[in-house]
Amino acid sequence: MKKKRFAMVLDTRKCIDCKACTIACKTENHIPLIEDNYRNWVMEEPLRGKYPRLGQSFTPGQCMQCSNPPCERVCPTSATYVNGDGVVLVDDKKCIGCKYCITACPYDARFYNEEIGAVDKCTFCIQRIYKGRLPACVETCPTKVRVFGDLNDPDSDVSRLLRKYPHRVKKPEIGTQPSLFYLM
Amino acid sequence: MLLSACAAAGVGTGLVGKRFQSLALAKHTIPISDLGNRDVFTSCGMCVNKCGVIARVRNGVIEKLDPNPHFLKSRGMLCARGNAGIDAVYSPDRLKHPMIRTGKRGEGKFRRATWDEALDLVVKNLSNLADKYTRAGTVFVSTEGFQEHFFTTFAECYGSPNTLRHPSLCLASNIQGFGATYGTNPTPDVLNADYIIMSGANRSEALVTPDSIDMLTGDGGRRKLVYLDPRFTKTAAKADEWFPIRPGTDMAFILAMINVVVKENLYNHKVVEKQTVGFDKLVPHIETYTPEWAATKCEIPAADIRRIAREFAMAAPKAVYYQGRRSSFFDNDTQMRRAMAILNAVVGNWDTKGGMVPNSRIPLQGHEYVAPYYEDVPDRLENGTASYLSEKDGSWKYFRDRVLEGKPYPVKGMMVYKQNPLVSVANRGKTLKMMEQMEFICTIDITMNDTAYYSDVILPEATYLEREDPIESLGGILPMVVWREPVIKPMYESRSNLWIIQQLAKRMGDEIYASFNFTMKEYREHQTKNNPEILKVLKEKGVYYEKETPTYGTTLGKKLRTRSGKIEIYSEKYAKKGLDPLPVYNDPTNGSTGQYRLILGRNAYMTHGTTANNAYLSELMPENHIWLHSSEAKKKGFRDGQMVKVKSPIATEMLRLQVTEKIRPDCVYLSHGFGVLSRGQSRIFGKGGSDAALIEDKVEPISGNMAMHQTFVDITSI
Amino acid sequence: MTAITKNFRNIIGFSLLGAGMLIGLIAVGYVLMVGHSHAYNLTREIPWGILISTYVFFAVSCSGLCLVSSLGHVFGVQEFEVIGKRAILVAILTLLTGFGVIAMELNHPFRMAIWVILSPNLSSAIWWMGTLYGLYLVLLCIELYAFMTEKHRLASMVGLIGFMVAISACSNLGAVFGLLDARPFWHGAYLPIFFILSAFVSGSALLALIIYFNHSLRGMEMPPQYKNLMITLGRLQALFLGILIFFVVWRTIPGLYAKHTGIYEATTATVSGNLSTNFWFFKVLIGLAIPFFLLVNRSTRTPFGVMSAGLLTTVGIFFMRYDMVIAGQIVPMRPLHQNAATDILHYIPSAAEMGIVIGSVCACLFFYVLIERRFDLNPIEHK
């Protein structure tokens, strides 16, 4: 069976910074309610212009599920690995808490989760996507900012969107090849 | 190495210790209901939208709340508050047992009581109050909810005419202004509109489904969103155009728009001729309300007003001036809404796709009950105050004033369901005085909010995720029927409101109890007697629709619920009452120099004053800040993040300053729901400041709606 | 020095060290009770704090001691042969202390022992760091054994291998930071090279301290061979410091020149921001400038002067490690506040972290002094 390449396409024009995705993620993935413990976020970009001519955008983000992940390279015990379908995961029992992957991540996507005793980050809701469901953030988003799917399937929504619209990734110059694409 | 060895040994024990610590914090030690593993269709109760929810229960614990994809109104989504609903159930701060006050009111000293003791006490007091002050001597305060009906019906059976609900804090002016024009308050068809003007309806933060979603669909180009607000809100960030309109001058803008539409002959002649009355009187009336005149009032350039009016008319009938929900801004709100309604009418968008569509509702069989007859019960306390007072909803401003006066008769009893007046009604000082003079206060709620904290008896209701609720028919342009099924059994000793009312009714006598003597199952079957299909579909899909797209034109060719049967541009009924039959503009009041107008608003992750203490949501916003424009902060030498004293004519609150460019320099803003008095809200007690304390209770006299943007404050360093 | 004053000084000395170790133990206990997130001021944006920089300080000091003393028994520079034993001993002590500090930094130090063997990741600089320093520790022990049992040929052989491993381990430690392209302030070839150089500086400084204090604290007159060694060390150190100053200058200028995002903010924080006291006072003045002038001037290049320079340099280097580790993390990976285009994060070590650092330094000193008293670390004359 052909491997999948999971990816997410985001249309930030629709994002209203309602934080639904952050709460859905916290409840779905049992993230402790402590400062620093979050898998995803919505950033308020700096204000553009001067009063009264103002503009502002909102940018959701999370682990970029890179194709060339720096976190995987640096983990001394191979606790961080990429599964066959492109999802970057952490094997809890092998994590020693050296936090090398946290310093190596260009996106501040990771954090140490004391409750599970390992580094934690977005897993594309791996417990849901193999059961035919969408990641919690995708499903819950009021304005449907997020589209999730398989890039290896040319007819998937993500593939079609990426063909149709110009898009960008975060920090392309580093060469991590993220799987989160932002429509321009 | 000694240090290494110690480290080694200790880490081992530390690891074990941490495991136990985390398990203890997990929800798994809280009493587990025995509803095992299931997915349950229910309706969210975190705000008024009632989005469809599928609750996931594993091992008797609610794990996650997912959106119900069948629920069209929410477009299959669940917002931050919906997801955070889990904490409403498992919060350690929630009310667990009936409580009876032991200390002084407001001290927060309560003792646990049995249901029997608490209910007996309530009924004893209600009877005493009835004897001393007549049945009108007790006010029944509530807000909307699937079980509110039982509470208000109980009030009726008890015999009190004094039910006080939230519309006079919210949308009474809208209902009045649009009702006087169209006979009903219609819903704008946002999904299909090409041009939307929103003033003061911050839809990207004050979420109303599906408008908050639909206003953003429409692949760029054809759809345009114009947004007027003194603040650069998230809606402003999404809108195509934003104007920091001067607060209180929306009517000037609208009248100027009408002026352009009429004078430049852009109005819909056919609709005006066939569907409206009074256009001939409108023409001379708006003569002086030119864009040039309006520009001096609302601080929006005349050229823009003219242009927007033209664009609006061109896009009509798929153009709406969006009236929003809350209309508790100014003392001219009803007339301003009238102007909105008139503008919508003259461009011909009534009851058509992309326009203003009257609501419809799927009929259910009503609750059949008989309220006993009581002699010598006076009328509503505040009768004769507002021009059009709702019998059921009343007017908080006038009611409270009369209670404090003690005239025309005293009100000494207060029963509260699901409402938190100490946070939601302007001028908290007055609410405190009103409550202080009550002889008995009983609150039915799920958290120890401020009103519960000041009550004599507190009865814990089961949360929305634990309740079996009546079937509810939600009206709108796409009517539907929803319900609630218990996701888990009610925790602790909490009970559904129906049970509480039944117990109270039982103690009040067979006559009253007869009206409530049924199980919820029986009630639902009764409701769907004429349409049993509803129950079947609800079980399968969690929501029942008869159509999946709105129906347009149902009122065309028929008589509207107005005196003339048509859209009343000129309101005869207002004229007869001595009110302006056509909206007349008046300038809003100004504060003194150096003062700022205090304005209110919403966040997408808070619901009014009810969710600030939610574990997930309070993480997003641990306290409220007062927004001040950066130029003003610079002038006064304030720094971002410093504490300041905010002083209004009636109160002073301490708040942290947020210096921003996102607000008019003459205004300040703070979020609702903080500065609470109750120590039972452990996450937020002592944090932030109370807007309810600061805001004066000005009122819009036609509907009795509170006018909450007319308070001016001084800001000083501490 | 009378016996009484000597005893008195002993008691004071050991009490201070003991107190320091006690602080360390209390800190360790506290951390194990409440967990890392409560005891440390580390965040997801700044996960590496003073514990990492202290570990780097110890590890590079260890490498440096070996490298400098190799001049003696590996490369045959006569003067340096006398300090071989002592140098190796202190190298072992500092490395073990470093490991102890790291054990408190890791959340699961035991898992490490298992999984670096069972599922190693050869592309991970930290894996190599663990492997190389582990190997290095073994080699040091063998070397010490060789010295203690007078097996000079074994010592030379192991010393040579150890030298190579020390170079690899130390430059690899620099690469732990240098391979991260997410962190522009660290990324590149500079740090691995810089670490080797600063190892030499650390090693020389520590050696000077060891020699001087070993004799003066015991109230012994310093024999002439040690005196000459000190002077030579002083000259060598002057050279190393000169090169180090050159490196630091050419690190700072590019950082400020092009205002490259990520590097510029970190450099300005170091030079004029909240790390500037560390930089100017501790690193530049105390760590580099004053020692350099002390050593360059023949009149001040006395054993005491060399010792003073060594002490100042060691302190300065401790702060230099701290600055390097922190400056690389204070520029967030994404702006955290809407109002600032780029903001700078803040970090101050918590009491527990400081406690562990104090404890580790005191423990290292304590055990060194103890071992010095019990064993004879002076070389026996060659036959």
- Sequence ranges of chain B with CATH classification 2.20.25.90: 30-90
Predicted pLDDT of residue C274 = 78
Q: Which amino acid is at C326?
A: I
Q: Which of B323, B47, B539 is nearest to A142 (CA)?
A: B47
pLDDT at B526 over 60: yes
Q: What is the pLDDT of residues B640-673, one digit of tens each?
A: 999 999 999 999 999 999 999 999 999 999 999 9
pLDDT at B10 over 70: no
Most A CBs within 10 Å: which of B47, B204, B227, as the mutation test of the A interface?
B204
Say yes or no for a CB contact (<8 Å) between C99 and B11.
Answer: no
Tokens matching residue A67: 């194709």
Q: How many angstroms away from the CA of B426 is the closest CA of chain A?
A: 27
- Sequence ranges of chain B with CATH classification 2.40.40.20: 596-717
Most C CBs within 10 Å: which of A103, A111, A119, A182, as the mutation test of the C interface?
A103
Prediction pTM value: 0.91
Residues of chain B with C-beta less than 8 angstroms from the C-beta of A55: 237
Collapsed DSSP state (helix, strand, coil) of residue B321: strand
Residues of chain B with C-beta less than 8 angstroms from the C-beta of A23: 80-81, 83-84, 605, 616-617, 620
pLDDT at B182 over 80: yes
Q: Which residue of B has its CA nearest to A142?
A: B77
Say yes or no for a CB contact (<8 Å) between A16 and B662.
Answer: no
C117 Cβ neighbours under 8 A, 6+ residues apart: none
Q: Which of C242, C244, C116, C125 is nearest to C174 (CA)?
A: C125
Say yes or no for a CB contact (<8 Å) between A33 and B661.
Answer: no
CB count within 10 Å of CB B237 equals 23
Tokens matching residue A48: 């553009």
* pLDDT grade for C225, boundaries at 50, 70 and 90: confident
C381 touches chain A (CB under 8 A): no
Look at the domain B99-170+363-545 and name its fold.
Answer: Rossmann fold (3.40.50)
Query: Could you tell me which residues are beta bridge partners of residue B698?
Result: B707
Query: Could you tell me which residues are beta bridge partners of residue B141?
Result: B164, B416
Look at the domain B187-355 and name its fold.
Answer: Dimethylsulfoxide Reductase; domain 2 (3.40.228)
Q: Which amino acid is at B253?
A: F
Going by the DSSP 8-state scheme, the letter that residue C282 receives in this structure is I
Average pLDDT over residues C212-230: 80
Predicted pLDDT of residue C269 = 86
CA dihedral sign of residues C223, C224, C230, C236: negative
- Which of A43, A103, A175 shows the shortest C-beta gap to C180? A103
* pLDDT grade for C8, boundaries at 50, 70 and 90: confident
Q: What is the pLDDT of residues B118-167, one digit of tens each?
A: 999 999 999 999 999 999 999 999 999 999 999 999 999 999 999 999 99
Q: Which of B432, B420, B326, B464 is nearest to B610 (CA)?
A: B420
- Cα separation, B321 vs B336, in Å, equals 12
Predicted pLDDT of residue C221 = 80
- Cα separation, B614 vs A93, in Å, equals 33
pLDDT at B224 over 60: yes
In words, the CATH class of domain A6-67+123-183 is alpha beta
CB count within 10 Å of CB B432 equals 18
pLDDT at B552 over 90: yes
Tracing tokens 């190599």 back to the chain, one arrives at: C128
Which range has the worst mean pLDDT, B195-209, B396-410, C212-226? C212-226
Predicted pLDDT of residue C336 = 76
With a cut of 70, list the residues of chain A below it in pLDDT: 1
Residues of chain A with C-beta less than 8 angstroms from the C-beta of B235: 16
Q: What is the pLDDT of residues C296-343, one digit of tens each?
A: 888 888 888 888 899 999 999 999 999 999 999 999 998 876 655 557
Residues of chain C with C-beta less than 8 angstroms from the C-beta of B7: 28, 100, 103-104, 109
pLDDT at C183 over 90: yes
Most A CBs within 10 Å: which of C43, C52, C111, as the mutation test of the A interface?
C111
Say yes or no for a CB contact (<8 Å) between B3 and C33.
Answer: no
Q: CA dist B531 to B364, B471, B473, B527, B536, Å?
A: 8, 12, 12, 8, 10
* pLDDT grade for B525, boundaries at 50, 70 and 90: very high
- Sequence ranges of chain B with CATH classification 3.40.50.740: 99-170+363-545
CATH of B596-717, one of 3.40.50.970, 3.30.360.10, 3.50.50.60, 2.40.40.20: 2.40.40.20
Q: Which of A136, A144, A141, A137 is nearest to A161 (CA)?
A: A144
A127 touches chain B (CB under 8 A): no
Q: How many angstroms away from the CA of C60 is the closest CA of chain A?
A: 19
- Cα separation, B548 vs C123, in Å, equals 57
* pLDDT grade for C379, boundaries at 50, 70 and 90: low
Collapsed DSSP state (helix, strand, coil) of residue B413: strand
Q: What is the pLDDT of residues A132-172, one digit of tens each?
A: 999 999 999 999 999 999 999 999 999 999 999 999 999 99
Q: What is the pLDDT of residues C240-259, one digit of tens each?
A: 999 999 999 998 998 889 88
* pLDDT grade for B4, boundaries at 50, 70 and 90: low
Say yes or no for a CB contact (<8 Å) between C111 and A77.
Answer: yes
Q: How many angstroms away from the CA of C103 is the closest CA of chain B?
A: 7
Residues of chain C with C-beta less than 8 angstroms from the C-beta of B8: 103, 109-110
Predicted pLDDT of residue B700 = 96
Predicted pLDDT of residue B357 = 96
pLDDT at B19 over 90: no
- Cβ atoms of residues B18 and A117 within 8 Å: yes
C341 touches chain A (CB under 8 A): yes
- Cβ atoms of residues B560 and B566 within 8 Å: yes
More confident of the two residues B130 and B15? B130
Predicted pLDDT of residue C369 = 86
Q: What is the pLDDT of residues B376-407, one digit of tens each?
A: 899 999 999 999 999 999 999 999 999 999 99
CATH of B30-90, one of 3.40.1010.10, 3.40.250.10, 3.40.50.1100, 2.20.25.90: 2.20.25.90
* ipTM confidence: 0.94
Average pLDDT over residues B554-574: 94
Predicted pLDDT of residue A94 = 95
Q: What is the pLDDT of residues C95-124, one digit of tens each?
A: 999 999 999 999 999 888 899 999 999 999
B421 Cβ neighbours under 8 A, 6+ residues apart: B141, B396, B431, B435, B451
Going by the DSSP 8-state scheme, the letter that residue C334 receives in this structure is S
pLDDT at B613 over 90: yes
| Residues making up chain C, counted from first to last | 383
Q: What is the pLDDT of residues B432-489, one digit of tens each?
A: 999 999 999 999 999 999 999 999 999 999 999 999 999 999 999 999 999 999 999 9
- Sequence ranges of chain B with CATH classification 3.40.228.10: 187-355
| Plot region of A36 (φ>0 → left; ψ -120 to 50 → alpha; else → beta) | left
- Cα separation, A15 vs A138, in Å, equals 12
CB count within 10 Å of CB C81 equals 18
Angle at B563 (CA atoms; ends B557, B568), nearest 5 degrees: 70
Say yes or no for a CB contact (<8 Å) between B6 and C25.
Answer: yes
Q: What is the mean pLDDT of chain B?
A: 92
Say yes or no for a CB contact (<8 Å) between B79 and A17.
Answer: no
Predicted pLDDT of residue B222 = 65
Say yes or no for a CB contact (<8 Å) between B15 and C24.
Answer: no
Average pLDDT over residues B338-355: 96
Q: What is the pLDDT of residues C337-362, one digit of tens each?
A: 665 555 788 899 999 999 999 999 99
Q: Which residue of A has its CA nearest to B631?
A: A51
Say yes or no for a CB contact (<8 Å) between A17 and B604.
Answer: yes
Q: Where are the beta strands (DSSP E) in B367-488?
A: 413-417, 440-445, 457-460, 469-474, 480-484
Predicted pLDDT of residue C338 = 60
Average pLDDT over residues B80-106: 96
Say yes or no for a CB contact (<8 Å) between B14 and C24.
Answer: no
Q: Where are the beta strands (DSSP E) in B477-599?
A: 480-484, 544-545, 567-568, 596-599
Predicted pLDDT of residue B94 = 95
Q: Which amino acid is at A180?
A: L
Q: Which of B49, B213, B152, B74 is nearest to B608 (CA)?
A: B49
Q: Which amino acid is at A173?
A: E
Q: How many angstroms away from the CA of B703 is the closest CA of chain A?
A: 33
Predicted pLDDT of residue B318 = 94
Q: What percent of chain C has pLDDT over 70?
A: 95
* pLDDT grade for B34, boundaries at 50, 70 and 90: very low
- Give the A:B interface size as CB pairs under 8 Å: 123
Predicted pLDDT of residue C382 = 44
Q: Which of A48, A61, A36, A94 is nearest to A170 (CA)?
A: A61
- Which of C109, C359, C363 shows the shortest C-beta gap to B11? C109
Say yes or no for a CB contact (<8 Å) between C33 and B17.
Answer: yes
Q: CA dist C222 to C225, C228, C230, Å?
A: 8, 10, 10
Predicted pLDDT of residue C137 = 94
Predicted pLDDT of residue C4 = 65
Q: Where are the beta strands (DSSP E) in B17-98?
A: 38-43, 52-58, 61-67
Predicted pLDDT of residue C339 = 56
* pLDDT grade for C13, boundaries at 50, 70 and 90: confident
pLDDT at B218 over 70: no
Q: Which residue of C has its CA nearest to A61?
A: C334
Most A CBs within 10 Å: which of B71, B216, B629, as the mutation test of the A interface?
B216
